[in-house]
Structure 1
C-alpha cells in the first residue's frame, strides 16, 4: 500500500483474501473439508480498493489497466528481495500514468534493476530516462516490405529520442533541455545502486 502511494494511488489499499473451496472429497482443515492440490488448500487473491469508500474488489474485476500495472509493479518491488527473479519484462507498465507518477514508475523499475535484469517497453520519456541501456524499435519501408529493427542509442541519440518523446521534435531546444533534466534526475536516483555495485 505504501508503494502505491508513490505511484499516484495515495488512497488505494491492497488486501489479501485467503479462502478455501469446500469439497466433500477434500482434506479436513480446521473443521472444514477443502479442495486441495499441489499448491495446498488456500485460494489467495489480491483485492484493491482504489479510493476511500470503494469496496475491495479482485484485481481482475475492479482495477483499470493503469491501476493493475501499478499494483503489479508495487508487488514486484515489495517482493524483489524475498524471492529474486533473474529477469522482469514489463510491457507498458506505465499505461494510464504520466507526469510525477511516470517518474515514480521509472524509479521503481530502477529499484528492481538493482537485483535483476529489467526489460521495459514504454512510450513515456519519464520511464525511459531511468534505463541503463536505451533501445529504440525502428521501422523502415522500401515500397513493398516493412522491416523492423532495434537500435541501441548512445548518449547524444538518447537525448534526441527523449526530446522527441517529450516534445514530438528531436531538435526542440526546450525538449532537449527537459530530456537532459530527466536523465540527470534518473542518474541521481540510480547513484546509490552504482556506489553499491562498486563496493562489491
Structure 2
C-alpha cells in the first residue's frame, strides 16, 4: 500500500473521531472504531496491505531516543509498552508521528503530553493496531482465523531490525535526559 494512501486512511479515521482523536485513555475512545470503519470499506487484501505497512511504519519508530521519550512520558516503558506507544503514536497522525520519530523532544508540544505531565488524564499508547485492522478484515469478508496468516504471507521476506536505532542513554540519568530531551525533561523531571 502506498504510504500516502496509508496515512490518508489514518487521517480519515482521525477526522471521523473529531476532537477526541488524540487520547487513547478515554473510556469510549472513538478512534479505533473509526479506523475499523475506514478500513472495512476496503477489500480484504487491501486491509492486509494496510497491516503490513503498519508494521513498516511502527518499525521506523523503533529508535532509542523515542523509546527514552516514552519512558519519560509514561514513567517507565518496557518492550510491550514501547510497542503500544508506537501504535498510539501512529494514531496521532502523520505529522505528529513523523516529527516525533525525527525529534522525540517535539512530543513536549502536544497538548496531550502537557496534560500528562501535570498528572491529568491522558495516554498515548494503544494496545495494538491489530485489533481494529483484524475487525475491519472480518467485516470486509475475510476469515477471522485467516487474518494473521494472510499478513504473514504478505510480509514474508522483510527484514526486521534487531536493536533500536539511534543513540541510547540511561533514561533514569536526569542529566543525560535533559541533554537529549530538554523540553520533555522540563515537563516531567522534578
TM-score by length of 1: 0.25
Whose strand fraction is larger, Structure 1's or Structure 2's?
1
Larger Rg: 1
Considering Cα pairs closer than 8 Å and 6+ residues apart, tell me whether 1 or 2 has the greater RCO: 2
TM-score by length of 2: 0.26
